[in-house]
Amino acid sequence: MKRNHSSNHQNPKRKWLIPTISIFIFSMTLFLILSITQTKPSSPSSSSSIITELNLNLGEMGLPNFPKFAYFLTGTKGDVSRVKRVLQAVYHPRNYYMVHLDLEASDEERLELAKYVKSESVVREFRNVMVVGKADLVTYKGPTMIACTLHGVALFLKKVQDWDWFINLSASDYPLMSQDDLLHIFSFIPRDLNFIEHTSNIGWKEYQRAKPIIIDPGLYHSKKSGVYWAKEKRSVPSSFKLFTGSAWVVLTKPFLEFCVWGWDNLPRTLLMYYTNFLSSPEGYFHTVICNQKDYQNTTINHDLHYIKWDNPPKQHPLFLNLEHFDDMVQSGAPFARKFTQDDPVLDKIDKQLLRRSPGRFTPGGWCAGNQLLSKDPCSVHGNPNVVKPTLSSKKLENLMVKLLDSENFRSKQCK
């Protein structure tokens, strides 16, 4: 059964391979260009009256208005199969997806990914997956990673209009529940809430991140290399307060419009500051949102990921395996990281949580095929607005209720 076409689906003339501009030009001029060429949206009203209790009773709330997510999926050399697997696991016809393999990956790998996307009949029908053709260089330690993310945001803002939240995932991430579960619960979440783990207690990062000055050659070279450290140190800024946290975020479209279009000087000022900051993705969005009065009360202090750390924490989290499966499920988090390629725990997540067969999309209400007669119920697609949540949605509901509890919500906002 074919889907019913609606006025808000993606333009069928969209190209599959999206050309990009250089990171250096992007990071230095993007805000100035877009602030001139785009119309400034109205600033959001204060969220001081935001709900303190979350009622997820479908019978009381009526038919929900399902949101749309804009997923930015990233990988590097050798990650084609991993990125493809993540895309299959999080795919839903309602959402939009942009896939970026950084400059270290070969053109052949990007072409392979683009060919796969074009080969899927469902994706051809809904035209909601885009593959970046000319990639950005990402060095991870320097500002190129946040530049790449902002570039992805800018492309989403340019190419599609009807999305609500932006979600960044890497090849090391994986979902712990279906998109039907996520869409079901988020249909009851206020659309101005930003999920971003943050703190102003930067501790050791003041001396190892904030005061050192680094130069990232990735801004102007086409080959990866280490960052350079300047001999001089800089003082902690007094015109804004530094915040830090997880690089993995679920951010609203209005906030990201503010970051990219920048009708206030704050996003541009902080972009310049974080150009010389080590691990800028752990601070840029956090510092912008917590220093801007229209958005600082919209933060939920959680990155919606299950992540396991050493004690005390090291630079990177532990790799997850079968020993962590039960904890992952009970956490209620919709995503988890980090996973090694093809770890057995991913197969267990596919089988028990996603009900996804190898090489297939995670089934949902939009899949109209007979699961008893076909190994791929999503080979026949129906109405993308039909959502069938599973028991996993109850765990996400419990997490959301806890995060939005009146005593928990306000106490963990920007301070």
Each residue of 296-305: pLDDT tens digit? 999 999 999 9
- Please state, for a pLDDT cut of 70, what percent of the chain lies above it: 83
Residue 38 reports pLDDT greater than 80 = no
In a domain, 336, yes or no: yes
In a domain, 384, yes or no: yes
In a domain, 137, yes or no: yes
Mean pLDDT of the chain: 85
Each residue of 138-160: pLDDT tens digit? 987 889 999 999 999 999 999 99
| Cβ 75 vs Cβ 110: under 8 Å | no
In a domain, 28, yes or no: no
Residue 179: which domain range? Answer: 65-411
Name the amino acid, one letter, at 245. Answer: G
405: Cβ contacts below 8 Å, ≥ 6 apart = 52, 53
In a domain, 272, yes or no: yes
Task: Please tell me the total count of domains within the chain.
Answer: 1
In a domain, 25, yes or no: no
Residue 256 reports pLDDT greater than 60 = yes
d(C-alpha 91, C-alpha 2), whole Å: 17
In a domain, 185, yes or no: yes
Q: Map 99-158 to HEC letters.
A: EEECCCCCHHHHHHHHHHHHHCHHHHHHCCEEEECCCCCCCCCCCHHHHHHHHHHHHHHH
Confidence (pTM): 0.86
What are the φ and ψ backbone dihedral angles of 282, each rounded to 5 degrees? Answer: -90, 5
pLDDT of residue 63: 55
In a domain, 36, yes or no: no
311: Cβ contacts below 8 Å, ≥ 6 apart = none
